Chain A
């Protein structure tokens, strides 16, 4: 039986086709980002300025970090609507630790991360053990986190006025000290660092492997002897930890934990993930794509603002971009 040669050629051909379409997708998002840069630079002299670029980077930091966490969850074919308010709750907990209790700043940061991870853990338990659909479970967490943030803070902002180092942690610029004039805030590097870690987790670790496996075929993963419930819970907890980091960055940037802020951030994060080519049906997605997606949203927002497009219209444009990005993905799949 020598069917081998034909098999080999088919598999090679198939792989090439796949490679091509994967590359197109990445290219498409990246080209879109570059195109936006070019268009806005030409349209306004104020766009391609150091301060404005820093502004864009800074604006991406929080949404980008949230989107990193959401990427994992969407790759498992789940969804997390609670990232926005969990971010707020985490910020509030940092404030409680640092301002109310006067604990050291690293503990405050840890408290923020732990709060996020705990909320994610609860999401994970509700979804994997209680079999509540992710949409509902995280919707419930969204409301609970919002309420808790208000209760704990007494519905008032918690300021970090006595601890300027907290703000400096994200808004200061270590690199500015090394290269004078190049005052890129630490938050930007925190985003990139978080993205690199997220990418390593997704591609090189067991957790990442099972994240993809869960989204690709959960039943098959279960039948392969993987403890699906535990890993799924871990993925939601990880996503929550990223929300916690987002909360810490948010609090540092505003020098305060604003308990009323945060609702709606989950949608921007989901939009960034989707623009970045992560499939809502699970199994595929990249961290690079998510980062590009997050930048597309902030560049768009920033550029339109510079062009004096009213905020209402910015939303319309962003919404249209989300739909177009997903449509482009569908077209790509159809041609595959």
Chain B
């Protein structure tokens, strides 16, 4: 084997207050798919942004085909043949597909300022033909699905004759079928001799797509291994530096029989049909099902975010009328949306303001004067109780990690004296390491007598955390399982009760199951 396509050595990069990369190394061969994994904040994206010319390295050197190169701008990287497809797609939604592909280097016609639109469209069509992609170059990007937009980004990268293609979490927003399509194109590129860097959180994908894996942790290079010779478990332990997934569930005892929340015959259009459920004090009730099964809709109906056609909700045995989220909060019900950043937090405000937000009335004097000492004290209390890692109460929430943001949301509901907490995908987008902290928190809350409904698409998570599991399919509850009865297979069967039962045994099936919704 000759020189590596890309070799990065001794790369150092600091941002104010953060040593993001510490003596990092990375090697990419032509014609390989190289996965780059690590927890959030491990430095994967930063390292690749150095390679793509978005960040300047503080130290170290980059060799491209054996030659030392200085990459000081995205343009310089592109000129070498290095392109990066970012997590947030970088397209101009108002321009057409072809206009996006050729942005910044449009072919001219006649005069140096005159665009040659026909050439732009033709060249783009050629790229799509090469990728075996059927897409009209004149379509506006705003009208494409995320998956198709990603294809446009890939076409754009290819139009630079890219020899190295960096993809930052390309599968995060795609469906299973779209991922297959993406992988088909990635394999096609690999066979053409392109070196592909695949940054991913989804470890189950590694086996499907990558040849080698490089693991990073805390801004440092850990190791590079052959994918086929390495188990997912050992990659995880390299990522976190410790073994993380204990297989046995650690459920708190649940002796209390008081029913905190009961839902009777709840109906809402075709979304929800005859929903009945009971949640006891100190219980974690898992709500499982496929995407679109109606789990979030149940939560929203209980929380008063959506109106219901018929049905009854009882809190501590008393029938209540919940028409708005405010009513739900007064009844002691809190909902923690899966989209924390949009619905759960005021990101630009500090920790203190967020914690007291849902119970703000309690902190007001006459004329809307805020009792500052009290809000400070309350926030302090929950920051300590929940072990939220923040430099101060005045830290803006957007600067916290995903796990700590989740804890701030929990703190907010606890400050509002909530008894029933509905968690919608509580660990989505949270590091492997921080997950176990969230699990511990859920267990603690249950032990303290809260009732918890946990909606999750992560089957191991449901199995590990739930006292009982309710499974939904197409807006109906198709079954209830005790923690002894619940297995991945049993839940799958109920979740697909209408459709065909997925029988995809063996270890390879983990990939399917882990992201089965």
A17-B140 Cα distance, complex, nearest whole Å: 12
6 tightest CB-CB pairs across the interface, nearest first? Answer: A220-B90, A283-B94, A216-B92, A225-B75, A14-B143, A216-B94
In the complex, chain B residues whose CB is within 8 Å of the CB of A221: 92, 103-104
**Inter-chain contact B78/A225, CB cutoff 8 Å:** yes
Which partner residue on chain A sits nearest B84 by CB separation? A223
Chain B CB within 10 Å, residue with most, of A8, A17, A209: A209
**Inter-chain contact B103/A224, CB cutoff 8 Å:** yes
A17-B103 Cα distance, complex, nearest whole Å: 25
Does A217 count as interface, using CB distance less than 8 angstroms?
yes
In the complex, chain A residues whose CB is within 8 Å of the CB of B156: 224
**Inter-chain contact B103/A226, CB cutoff 8 Å:** yes
Within 8 A of B (CB), among A179-225: 204-207, 209, 212-213, 215-217, 219-225
**Inter-chain contact B113/A207, CB cutoff 8 Å:** yes
Does A4 count as interface, using CB distance less than 8 angstroms?
yes
**Inter-chain contact B103/A205, CB cutoff 8 Å:** no
Does A7 count as interface, using CB distance less than 8 angstroms?
yes
CB distance from B392 to the nearest CB of A (A): 28
What is the number of contacts between chain A and chain B, taking CB atoms within 8 Å? 93
In the complex, chain B residues whose CB is within 8 Å of the CB of A204: 114-115, 117
A23-B92 Cα distance, complex, nearest whole Å: 21
Q: Which among B93, B113, B114 is the interface contact of A216 at CB below 8 angstroms?
A: B93
What are 19 contact pairs spanning A and B, CB under 8 A? A1-B180, A11-B144, A11-B148, A12-B136, A14-B143, A15-B140, A17-B143, A204-B117, A205-B114, A209-B95, A212-B92, A213-B95, A216-B95, A217-B91, A219-B90, A221-B92, A221-B103, A223-B86, A225-B74
Q: A1-B180, A209-B106, A283-B93 are in contact. Are A7 and B114 (CB under 8 A)?
A: no
Q: Which among B90, B94, B103 is the interface contact of A215 at CB below 8 angstroms?
A: B94
In the complex, chain A residues whose CB is within 8 Å of the CB of B181: 1, 3
**Interface size, chain A (Cβ < 8 Å):** 32
Q: Which among B54, B75, B114, B135 is the interface contact of A11 at CB below 8 angstroms?
A: B135
**Inter-chain contact B103/A18, CB cutoff 8 Å:** no
Tell me the dominant secondary structure on chain A's binding face: helix
A221-B108 Cα distance, complex, nearest whole Å: 18
CB distance from B326 to the nearest CB of A (A): 25
**Inter-chain contact A223/B90, CB cutoff 8 Å:** yes
CB distance from B145 to the nearest CB of A (A): 8
Number of chain B interface residues as a range: 35 or more
Q: A213-B92, A283-B92 are in contact. Are A206 and B136 (CB under 8 A)?
A: no
Given contacts A7-B135, A213-B92, A216-B92, 9 further A-B contacts (CB under 8 A): A1-B184, A11-B135, A11-B143, A204-B115, A204-B117, A215-B94, A216-B95, A217-B92, A220-B92
Does A266 count as interface, using CB distance less than 8 angstroms?
no
Does B276 count as interface, using CB distance less than 8 angstroms?
no
Q: A212-B95, A213-B95, A217-B91 are in contact. Are A224 and B74 (CB under 8 A)?
A: yes
Within 8 A of A (CB), among B81-131: 86, 89-95, 99, 103-106, 108, 113-115, 117
A3-B175 Cα distance, complex, nearest whole Å: 13
CB distance from A289 to the nearest CB of B (A): 14
Does A80 count as interface, using CB distance less than 8 angstroms?
no
**Inter-chain contact B134/A4, CB cutoff 8 Å:** yes
Does A268 count as interface, using CB distance less than 8 angstroms?
no
Does A284 count as interface, using CB distance less than 8 angstroms?
yes
**Inter-chain contact A223/B54, CB cutoff 8 Å:** yes
In the complex, chain B residues whose CB is within 8 Å of the CB of A219: 90
**Inter-chain contact A7/B148, CB cutoff 8 Å:** yes
